[in-house]
């Protein structure tokens, strides 16, 4: 690190996640000596403020990355594909929040609470997992370590902010139209680039990202494949059903697991999670304490509650996992990886 701190670039600085990255870097007082804010041509020229100073966002070019030490990418997969190698070529370490490199065997896929050491294996790029995957593995890793893990079946309750700022606008505009008894035309959700668009306000859409030939969506397959990679468990049985809700921010997950040890009680799982890194246990049914997305917004933690032992299967447990999809699901996990790079001495 130079005397004044690191040269950090944020690519996609004007987006929903990019904005949260800047807020998080500021809140964490990340040691930044020089800050370069980049975007696609479309958003270049916009003004963004950081620590009270105004920055003009520049269009990313290969040369933008000269001297950059850490580059946080969140401007879509195609931007990462184009510019991450250019950044690496110029000596930067890239923390990529898109799906471009997540399943690349040469790229570590990292949730610091789970597999921080994998960062050491990087070849210039470190991938940030999908939002819905991150919060789940934060909750599952302590359980895996203590009791082993055989099976995961997750049903998600995902917020629209995972689909970007336009999706947030669509939810709010639609909700208002419905309350007014007015007509509206869905244009964004469930998937901006797909053929059909459906009402999201006062509805639930069982599609996030496009469908694969096997009937699962790409979002579901991300949860399945990324969980196995992050937890180093290629043999783990994982299934996901991903559903978009009329919630602005905060993903929830109903998770059924089968552990690899007999005779474990729900209380043991609660005790374990009450001290687990990155986890806040909110589990007091008698006082109606459980996680909810509205409470998780703006927080870095993963909230876990409704922990129950299955009534039939001794190794079965049910959990309810909630987190801010823009923070632990994206911006905070990326900044956390950058902090790990410093901690591990991989950036100087």
The contact set with a copy of itself (CB under 8 A) reads 151, 153, 155, 157, 171-172, 175-176, 179, 190, 194-196, 198-199, 202-207, 211, 214-216, 224, 237-239, 241, 243, 245-248, 250, 252, 254, 256, 266, 285-288, 290-294, 305-308, 310-313, 316, 318, 320
CB of 316 to a copy of itself, least distance (A): 7
CA pseudo-torsion sign 308, 219, 146, 341: negative
Instruction: Decide whether 11 or 242 has the Cβ nearer to a copy of itself.
Output: 242
Is 16 marked as binding a ligand?
Answer: yes
Instruction: Establish whether 244 is an annotated binding residue.
Output: yes
Nearer to a copy of itself, 292 or 346 (CB): 292
> Which one from 7, 122, 242, 251 is the annotated catalytic residue?
251
Q: Calculate the CA 189 to chain-centre distance.
A: 19
Q: Known catalytic residue: 251?
A: yes
> Judged by CB, which is closer to a copy of itself: 4, or 267?
267
Does an H or E element contain 86, and which?
helix 77-89
Which region holds residue 215: left if phi is over 0, alpha if psi is between -120 and 50, else beta?
left
Does the annotation place 193 within a ligand binding site?
Answer: no
N-term to C-term CA, the chain: 4
Closest CA to 319 of 262, 278, 277, 281: 281
Helix axes 131-147, 266-274, angle to 10 degrees: 120
CA distance 263 to 235: 23
* 153 labeled part of a ligand binding site: no
**Pick the catalytic residue: 131, 197, 232, 318?**
131
Inter-residue contact 255 to 320 (CB < 8 Å):
yes
| Paired residues of 237 in beta bridges | 151
CB of 332 to a copy of itself, least distance (A): 21
Q: Is 162 annotated as a binding residue?
A: yes
Q: How far is the CB of 242 from a copy of itself (least distance, A)?
A: 9
The upper half-sphere exposure of residue 157, i.e. CA atoms within 13 Å in the direction of its Cβ, equals 16
Provide the residue count of the chain.
348
When the beta carbons of 70 and 208 are compared against a copy of itself, the nearer one is: 208
Which residues are annotated as part of the binding site for substrate?
A: 158, 244
Kindly list the catalytic residues: 131, 251
Which residues are annotated as part of the binding site for NADP(+)?
A: 14-17, 42-43, 161-162, 325
């Amino acid at each position: 690190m130079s005397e004044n701190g690191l040269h950090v670039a944020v690519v996609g600085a004007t987006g929903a996640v990019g904005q949260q990255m800047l807020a998080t870097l500021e809140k964490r007082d990340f040691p930044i000596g020089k800050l370069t804010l980049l975007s696609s041509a479309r958003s270049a020229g916009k003004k963004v403020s950081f620590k009270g100073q105004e920055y003009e966002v520049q269009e990313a070019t290969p040369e933008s990355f000269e001297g950059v030490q850490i580059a946080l990418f969140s401007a879509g997969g195609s931007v990462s594909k184009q510019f991450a190698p250019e950044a690496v070529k110029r000596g930067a370490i890239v923390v990529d929040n898109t799906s471009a490199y997540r399943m690349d065997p040469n790229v570590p896929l990292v949730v610091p609470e789970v597999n921080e050491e994998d960062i050491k294996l990087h070849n210039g790029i470190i991938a940030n997992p999908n939002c819905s995957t991150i919060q789940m593995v934060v909750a599952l890793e302590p359980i895996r370590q203590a009791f082993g893990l055989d099976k995961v079946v997750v049903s998600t309750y995902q917020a629209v902010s995972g689909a970007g700022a336009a999706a947030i606008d669509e939810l709010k505009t639609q909700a208002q139209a419905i309350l007014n008894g007015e007509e509206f035309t869905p244009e964004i959700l469930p998937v901006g680039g797909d053929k059909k668009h459906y009402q999201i306000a006062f509805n639930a859409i069982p599609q996030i990202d496009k469908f694969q030939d096997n009937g699962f969506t790409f979002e579901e397959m991300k949860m399945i494949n990324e969980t196995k990679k992050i937890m180093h468990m290629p043999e783990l049985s994982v299934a996901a059903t991903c559903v978009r809700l009329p919630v602005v921010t905060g993903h929830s997950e109903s998770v059924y697991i089968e552990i690899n040890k007999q005779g474990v009680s729900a209380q043991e799982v609660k005790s374990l999670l009450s001290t687990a890194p990155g986890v806040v246990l909110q589990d007091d049914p008698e006082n109606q304490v459980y996680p909810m997305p509205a409470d998780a917004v703006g927080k870095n933690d993963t909230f876990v509650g409704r922990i129950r032992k299955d009534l039939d299967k001794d190794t079965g447990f049910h959990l309810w996992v909630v987190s801010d999809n823009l923070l632990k699901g994206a911006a905070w996990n990326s900044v956390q990886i950058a902090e790990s790079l410093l901690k591990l001495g991989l950036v100087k």
